[in-house]
Amino acid sequence: MFVQEVRRFYPFGPFLGARVRTDFTWNNCRFTKGRLVLLDMYGTNHDPRLWEQPYEFSPGFKDWEGSLFDLIPQGGGNPYNGHRCPGESITIEAMKISLDFLANKIAYEVPPQELDFSLTRMPAIPKSRFILKNVR
């Protein structure tokens, strides 16, 4: 649950881009072949219509019943036939192992630093990165 909330709250990037493959109309909006479209990952993952308190970090995924288009830290839909990263499950497992290591296997201090991130940069990395001191 914690890893999923990290992925929702702190996206890898603010958006994903793709080119339209064939002309189509969706919600009265015309999409033509070759047009660049952007998927707003940050906006969707912080949309108050989908999340009760979108700007509060709260790992409450135990009872979450959203769709594969509500939580989109690595694209939306089914990874087998949609626009979702096929490596998402590997990302989740790597994050769980990393979290266990940082929380249970080593000791360190986190000095004051600038952890704000830009929504115009990919990947969305904190200004000061993430600094650890006195790692043991």
Look-up of token digits 């115009």: 120
pLDDT the model gives residue 118:
81
Tens digits of per-residue pLDDT, 12-42? 788 888 899 999 999 999 999 999 999 898 9
Residue 49 has pLDDT above 90, yes or no: yes
Report the C-alpha gap between 10 and 25 in whole angstroms.
32
pLDDT the model gives residue 116:
85
Whole-model pTM: value is 0.78
Number of H-type helices and E-type strands within the chain: 3, 6
Could you tell me if 70 and 77 are in contact, meaning their C-beta atoms sit under 8 angstroms apart?
no
Average of per-residue pLDDT values in the chain: 89
